[in-house]
Amino acid sequence: MEANKRRKVAPWPTLLKPVEEPGKGDGLGGLFDGLPAAEDHGVAAAPKSQAVPQVKKPVTTIRCLHILKKHTKSRRPTSWRERVITRTVEEATYQVKEFRKHVAAKATPKEQQAEFERLARKESDCGSAREGGSLGRFHRGQMQKPFEDAAFALEVNEMSHVVMTDSGVHIILRVE
């Protein structure tokens, strides 16, 4: 039976003893054995500062919360909260600035979002107040231009300053 057993032999020659010259391969008879190392020719790895910068993908859709305060000069000076809006532009702006201060005082983005939603449900003149001011996901071209520009300029968890549109005075919190 032992006469029928074959010994496994590599199809290429291998060296079992190390190469005498230091710095020349790993000494095991591999493919690169006997070749100089890359460092020997002055080739070094590229410095990390020259790494290829990652390109940000353009944002096509975002999700925002907003609080709207309408005023007498709004496109439609009526809301689900008040049949006839009687506040001036200045009063609406002041109220929105106060809401912004209140939300910004919260420590974490999660607390800020929760407070923003609470205020939107209680104070916003928009129908989205029922959903905590959420407008859902939207693309460019779906909102009034000043609102869209402000919303798309925000980073995630960033809150806008006062934004004026034909609908009224807004603050926006981008959540996605």
The residue from 74, 126, 128, 160 that is catalytic is 126
The residue from 64, 66, 79, 124 that is catalytic is 66
Q: Is 71 a catalytic residue?
A: no
DSSP string, the chain: -TTT------SS----S--SSTTBS-SS--TTTTSBPGGGGT--PPPGGGSPPPPPPPP-EEEEEEEEE--TTSSS---SS-SS----HHHHHHHHHHHHHHHHTSSSHHHHHHHHHHHHHHH--SGGGGGTTEEEEEETTSS-HHHHHHHHHSPTT-B---EE-SS-EEEEEE--
Q: What's the rounded Cα separation, in Å, for the pair 156 and 71?
A: 29
The residue from 79, 124, 160, 167 that is catalytic is 167
The residue from 71, 124, 128, 170 that is catalytic is 170
Q: Is 167 a catalytic residue?
A: yes
Q: Is 102 a catalytic residue?
A: no
Q: What's the rounded Cα separation, in Å, for the pair 81 and 9?
A: 87
Q: Is 170 a catalytic residue?
A: yes
Q: Is 126 a catalytic residue?
A: yes
The residue from 95, 102, 134, 144 that is catalytic is 144
Catalytic center residues: 66, 126, 144, 167, 170
